[in-house]
Structure 1
Amino acid sequence: MTWRRKMTDETTPVRRLFNTCKQVFSNGGPGIVPSDDKIQQLRDVLDNMKPEDVGLTPTMPYFRQNTGPENLSPPPITYLHLYQCEQFSIGIFCLPPSGVIPLHNHPGMTVFSKILFGTMHIKSYDWVVDAPMRDSKTRLAKLKVDSTFTAPCNVSILYPEDGGNMHRFTAETACAVLDVLGPPYNLEGRHCTYFLDFPFNKFSSANGVVLRDEEHKEGYAWLQERDDNPEDLNVVGALYTGPNVED
């Protein structure tokens, strides 16, 4: 018994996260939301994660602001890949100040996002059920979150149908965000789609849509699908060098 307790105590936070993800998403798949108990289990692990648990510090090159006049492109965002299988993926987005991950969706996915350090603005939407589409690429959505978060803060969770399934991240300072996706994206019908958002009254056809809370039109927007590679998306991959994820 003493030996088993010692082994458990020596488990690193990132391995604890990996082991918890294996349990939480063991019977997962597109559109399958883990039970409340499992969600709380993973939430508890992520809420206690710190930058040093994954080998990150704000002084790393990923987080430096490029102030050179020759750089007219969006600030590069670095993605560190920790692990992926059919059931879930673990990764970290490293954003310099003013870095943006454009508005995008998570089809059939439950997503846990933990800000490890920094201040970030998050804006998110959910689709309005049964609302008519304006056209083949434009659909009505309801604002879910439009707030700024500063670490340390609790993990945010979105679900396949609610919780802000479409979201945008904007770094107000250098930020690191630990993401757990269950299941991960794939190229067989569940790829990442990017959107532009427009106010509800932007289009004249919006007048044909009746809202239950008509007085709160500012809480609604039209989301329009974008091309697969938005010009304001600048993500590069880098090798994860933190503690080992798997045993």
Structure 2
Amino acid sequence: MQKQFDIIVLSKERLCPSIEDRALGWFFAENFSEVLPELDAEWTILVSPGIRMTRDFLNAVADICVEFPYADAFAPRVLHAESHQVFSSGFLIDQKRGLEEEFRSNRDREIRPIASVSPECGIYSTRLLHALHGFDPEFKTDIRFFDLGLRALHLGANLFATPRIEIESVAAKQYSKPDRIRELGRVYYKDLDIIQYLKFALRHPAALNALFKNRKQLNAKSLAVTELSRFSKEMFEKVSTR
């Protein structure tokens, strides 16, 4: 029997599944590539260890997957378990800050295209995860999801924010701003064109490190990502802040 969902908890440590059900596959890995051969559900949910998985959430996800058959990934809104304030969602490309959480500019809670899915919780077509192979091991912060999303867009995938679906988390990871800026610089250089990279780097000098650390490797990765790209200018506008 094919499972309804595979759930990958992004953790080295094996935790106790919050829902015991034969229709769910539970896996534990920091990089989803480690368990790709074992996935057999049509949809896979990547979650941080702090996410509170519930049956209501899974039912809502099942409904949205049926409603939007052309989508390849969804980003729910993630709430603090205690305050119920939104703190995470999908990413949009922001020319000044580099990226922005979708909920900060989507006040009307519309389902809309995004540049990447949340590091806290994302619903992905398993076929898309197979095509992406795994996280780029160079990235250590949540920027690895931004890189993953841009790589998906280059493949022609459709990623959507789904603000009517919510899930709670007991904790959110925090990273220092310099680390994020340096990694964002490398993502911009690798996954976007040089003009977009320079616009960002001129505002954030720390991003210039992208040109001096492993530049040959970055160039090779950039070519691999963009050579047969379907990431159009029109799509770039859709997944950017306005």
**Which structure has greater strand proportion?**
1
The answer to which structure has the higher helix fraction is 2
TM norm structure 1: 0.28
Structure with greater contact order relative to length (CA < 8 Å, sep ≥ 6): 1
**Structure with bigger gyration radius:** 1
Question: TM-score, normalised to structure 2's length?
Answer: 0.28
